């Protein structure tokens, strides 16, 4: 069975208006997701917010089973929050570190995750060390193994970074850490919905993702999964409220035993229903089929850009995903984005402020980021390459 691209594009009204290669920013949602959002919001406007949440409890709870079906893990170990940043930090902030505990991270770490790490350094005295890259530009597994010692508490890895097509070898990290006491946290905000990702197979303890990117869900949605072993080492997360904890005594707040401790009382309820629909839509199409098509589209796009005079492609890694970064000689990245936007082509710009551990070492300041997804087609690849060729000439 292959993907019915005509049906998928029919489900995606946005393809009639734009050539959308900004899926790593926020993908075009399929119509069933938009319908679910509108339906829930209309119910809130008609019957009231609390009342709608009570009557649609089963639909709201469906997001946990939908995440479990696509990404693995027990539904009770999943929590719904407002974003991937909130998801990552909710889990990380619940860990209790001692001064001198070491956290190992990668050159591809997200800036918002680094902010959380640096806050823990400031408040709890952790030591942050960066794992070197190997010859392919991905995290070096051998170097990681040599860095682990008795003070190492956590390894934090971004699966696919914001600034390029690199796919870090997270499964190899999980295998290395599987029998150790070191916790393994994965930021999968760019990989869930793009590639097969399964928490049980990766061997991670914590995993977070967003709804708006390759899952094709609503903005303002995200999820975090934490296994029982990690939960047992956690206290209350930053921002805990009475949805995730109990005021058990006048001077005591007790976190819920499972992942619900990370969830705020007030959240995007319509988005929760919409995200469940998006996750099921992805599962129905088949993540293996999606990954295969994404690989084809990304390779076609890279190949086309590499053939253009004055255009350089800057993706790292032995394996590369559907984020394609490039530069056009003599034209700034914002200018490329603006000019393509005038032709109804959506891309993004990634710069050194999002890649302080990576871009300076490579002599880069900014790149254009084009990120196709399975609903895009070969005609759009050709149209995109032609548009960039016009710029480069």
Same domain, 19 and 112: no
Same domain, 141 and 272: yes
Q: What pLDDT score was predicted for residue 242?
A: 85
Same domain, 255 and 116: yes
Q: 211: which DSSP letter?
A: S
Same domain, 350 and 251: no
Same domain, 324 and 208: no
Same domain, 260 and 335: no
* 126-164 as b/e: b if 16+ CB within 10 A: beeeebebbeebbbbbeebeebeeeebbbbbbbbbbbbb
Between the alpha carbon of residue 102 and those of residues 99, 121, 181, 295, the distances in Å are 9, 10, 13, 36
Same domain, 309 and 387: yes
Report residues of the chain scoring pLDDT below 50: none
Q: 158 with 108: CB under 8 angstroms?
A: yes
Closest-CA residue to 161 (of 332, 372, 320): 320
What residues make up the domain containing 90?
A: 32-284
Closest-CA residue to 183 (of 225, 154, 156): 154
Q: Nearest 5°: phi and psi at 348?
A: -130, 170
Same domain, 225 and 322: no
Strand ranges across the sheet with 102-106: 78-81, 222-226, 206-210, 183-187, 152-158, 102-106, 127-131
Please report, for the domain that includes residue 222, its CATH number: 3.40.640.10
Query: How many other CB atoms are there within 10 angstroms of residue 125's CB atom?
Result: 12
Q: What pLDDT score was predicted for residue 240?
A: 86
Q: 293 with 3: CB under 8 angstroms?
A: yes
The pTM for the full model equals 0.96
Same domain, 292 and 215: no
E strands in the chain: 19-20, 78-81, 102-106, 127-131, 152-158, 183-187, 206-210, 222-226, 245-249, 252-255, 311-313, 324-328, 345-346, 348-351, 366-370
Same domain, 381 and 243: no
Q: What pLDDT score was predicted for residue 1?
A: 59
Which residue, of 284, 319, 349, is where some domain finishes?
284
Same domain, 131 and 265: yes
Query: DSSP secondary structure string, 177-206?
Result: HTTSS-EEEEE-TTTBTTB---HHHHT-SE
Which residue, of 249, 284, 319, is where some domain finishes?
284
Domain tally, the chain: 2
Which residue, of 236, 254, 284, is where some domain finishes?
284
Same domain, 243 and 355: no
Please report, for the domain that includes residue 332, its CATH number: 3.90.1150.10
In sign, the C-alpha dihedral spanning 274, 280, 284, 289 is positive
């Amino acid at each position: 069975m292959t993907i019915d691209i005509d049906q998928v594009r029919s489900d995606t009204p946005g393809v009639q208006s734009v050539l959308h290669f900004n899926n790593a920013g926020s993908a075009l949602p399929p119509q069933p997701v938009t319908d679910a959002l509108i339906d829930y919001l209309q119910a809130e406007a008609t019957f009231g917010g609390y009342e709608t949440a009570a009557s649609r409890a089963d639909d709201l709870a469906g997001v946990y089973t939908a995440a479990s079906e696509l990404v693995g893990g027990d539904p009770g170990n999943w929590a719904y929050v407002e974003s991937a940043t909130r998801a990552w930090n909710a889990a990380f902030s619940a860990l209790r570190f001692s001064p001198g505990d070491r956290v190992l991270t990668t050159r591809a770490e997200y800036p918002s995750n680094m902010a959380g790490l640096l806050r823990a350094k400031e408040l709890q005295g952790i030591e942050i060390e960066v794992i070197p890259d190997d010859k392919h530009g991905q995290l070096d597994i051998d170097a990681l193994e040599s860095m682990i010692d008795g003070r190492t508490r956590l390894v934090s890895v971004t699966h696919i970074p914001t600034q390029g097509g690199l796919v870090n070898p997270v499964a190899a990290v999980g295998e290395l850490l599987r029998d150790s006491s070191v916790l393994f946290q994965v930021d999968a905000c760019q990989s869930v919905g793009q590639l097969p990702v399964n928490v049980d197979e990766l061997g991670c303890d914590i995993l977070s993702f967003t709804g708006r990117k390759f899952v094709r869900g609503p903005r303002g949605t995200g999820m975090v999964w934490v296994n029982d072993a990690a939960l047992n080492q956690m206290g209350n997360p930053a921002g805990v409220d009475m949805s995730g904890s109990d005021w058990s005594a006048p001077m005591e707040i007790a976190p819920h035993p499972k992942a619900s401790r990370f969830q705020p009382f007030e959240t995007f309820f319509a988005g929760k229903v919409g995200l469940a629909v998006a996750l099921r839509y992805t599962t129905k199409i088949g993540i293996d089929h999606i990954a295969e098509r994404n690989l084809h589209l990304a390779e076609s796009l890279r190949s086309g850009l590499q053939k253009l005079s004055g255009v350089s492609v800057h993706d790292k890694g032995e394996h590369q995903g559907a984020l394609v970064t490039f530069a056009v000689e003599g034209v700034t990245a914002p200018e490329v984005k603006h000019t393509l936007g005038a032709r109804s082509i959506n891309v993004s710009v990634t710069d050194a402020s999002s890649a302080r551990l990576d871009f300076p070492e490579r002599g880069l300041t900014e790149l254009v980021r084009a990120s196709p997804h399975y609903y895009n087609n070969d005609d759009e690849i050709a149209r995109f390459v032609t548009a960039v060729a016009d710029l480069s000439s």
